A and B are shown apart, each in its own frame.
Chain A
Amino acid sequence: MSSNTKTKTNEEKRSLFDIIPRIEFAWWETLCMRLGFAWLLYNRFPFLERLPHADEALTFPNGIAKWVDLTWALQPEAYLVIKSIMGFACILYVTGFAFPIASTALFVCFLIPCTLQNSLGSFSHYYQMMVLLLLAQALASWIWTFAKGPRTLVQPGTALHSFTTRVTLQVLAGNYVLCGLTKLIISEGKWIVNSQYMPLQFEKIKMQHYYNALVEVPPNVGDKLNAYAIDNPWFSMMAYTPGLIAELGAVALLFGRAWALWTGVFIVAMHYIIKVTMNLNFQQHEAMVWIYAANIPFWTVWLIAKALKIGSNKHELQAAGK
């Protein structure tokens, strides 16, 4: 009876911020995550050379560029200002102070150039995930601030960062699952069967690599695998089906720490298979999975603690962190 009452009380206590299974991230874990993500953001800010020319009309305005003129950002001086703000925001983001402001500033700094880059009729899926995670973190931190009071706007708090990390994991998982679902929707469920045409894509990617700078890509294992796949359609189906499973199964990122680790490793392995067989890189996606899902700092501390027998219980580690 008392057990039932206790369970019920726990259920009643759950609020908007309680996400099952609730992981309480320690301050040092979220600090490592912020450090890793800020490093990724700083190093992957789009180059001005990769954006449309300053005098060029946007042929296919995308996102907010449909309604707001963002072309001012293509001037070198404006770009430099945005990049400088981004740099300062990265530092503030790592410290954890004024987190809603730092994450929002980073989101805006990335939103402007990346929207412009996608406004010439070609969609790059290079920055989307990073910017979506920033958007989620900014939104989550503002919701937290409004719910908990304005003091949290400037104060760093383990609970806030723990909450935004849980939200980040949800958005990461949601987008991977959506990627798998879109494959099933667009291909009308025939994605696995149609993957037998993958060698055509490989050939196209190879030629595109060449025409980038007129540099031949040396033959690699991908060439051999695709030559084999042309005569053996089952091979492509076998090679790419785990990719679809990894995407749809990304929901397991939310099942707890160990699930997040192994699902993250599985997703990185999927990216590696695509890199070998298709010459496509997913460096940023992999980095985000390592940072938020695999959470190497936690497992390193856990292993050390276990080796030294100072308390291998995950909950003890979390409590120590707090």
Chain B
Amino acid sequence: MSFITTTLKSPWLLRARDLVVHLLKYWPWFVFSMVIGHMTKENFPFSHWPMYADFAKNVDYVFFEDKQGQPVPAYIFRETSARLKRQFNSERKREFKELREKNPDREMRPALEKQSVENAALLMTERLGQRLTEKQQAQYEEMRMIRVVLSYDEDNRIKRDRFDGQYISLADLPHAPEGTEVPPLPPQPLPDNAEGSEEEGAE
């Protein structure tokens, strides 16, 4: 008992306590903004700022291709490539969670991961295809999502593993009203480019 009492009266503990008291007394907004941000995570306007909080050994990006295999620029969808990638990963994680609930077997995990990527790519293509006008849909005819995963190979060079999503016929999808298409963006620097090139959320 005396050991506990002595420990509690230790000058080091008292210093730590004084520091906390000092912070709360004089910098309460500083302390609470950190606590609230950490607890609420990603709930606008609060954030715990997870962008580049860790560097994975493989990173990915996504884009769309038309029937001829030509890439479709992200601005056509009123999005940026960075935002499309984050949306895809949110869809992929949700799909994987749902699939795991149905098949909790550990051995199934790789197959479910693959399935979740396919499902998310399809969902993304369907959703974004609807942002095109009828004219644009006719121009691109079909569309699919491509995911590229970057990692280092054995020679320490950057390796690209490509996943091709399933083609969807745009003629079958609802379309945005004519006249709502986004005008082509001028070459770099883009007027709103800062938004597109801002920091990423953590994966």
Contacts and interface: CB of A to CB of B under 8 A. Distances in A.
A60 to B, nearest CB: 5
Given A123-B201, A194-B55, A135 B45 contact: yes
A207 B81 CA distance: 9
Given A18-B26, A170-B33, A200-B151, A182 B48 contact: yes
A173 B37 CA distance: 13
Given A118-B44, A200-B152, A212 B75 contact: yes
A1 interface: no
Interface in B181-203: 182, 184-185, 187-188, 190, 192-202
Contacts of A122: 82-87, 90, 201
Interface residues of A, number: 84
A178 B44 contact: no
A207 B148 contact: yes
Contact of A49 (B26, B54, B73, B182): B182
B177 to A, nearest CB: 9
B18 interface: no
A207 B61 contact: yes
Interface residues of B, number: 79
Contacts of A254: 27, 30
Interface of B: 25-34, 37-38, 42-61, 63, 71, 73-75, 78, 80-91, 94, 127, 130-131, 148, 150-152, 156-158, 176, 182, 184-185, 187-188, 190, 192-202
Interface of A: 14, 16, 18-20, 47, 49-51, 53, 56, 59-60, 62-64, 110-111, 114-115, 118, 120-128, 131-132, 135-136, 140, 167, 170-171, 173-175, 177-179, 181-183, 185-187, 190-191, 194-201, 203-205, 207-215, 217-218, 230-231, 251, 254, 279-284
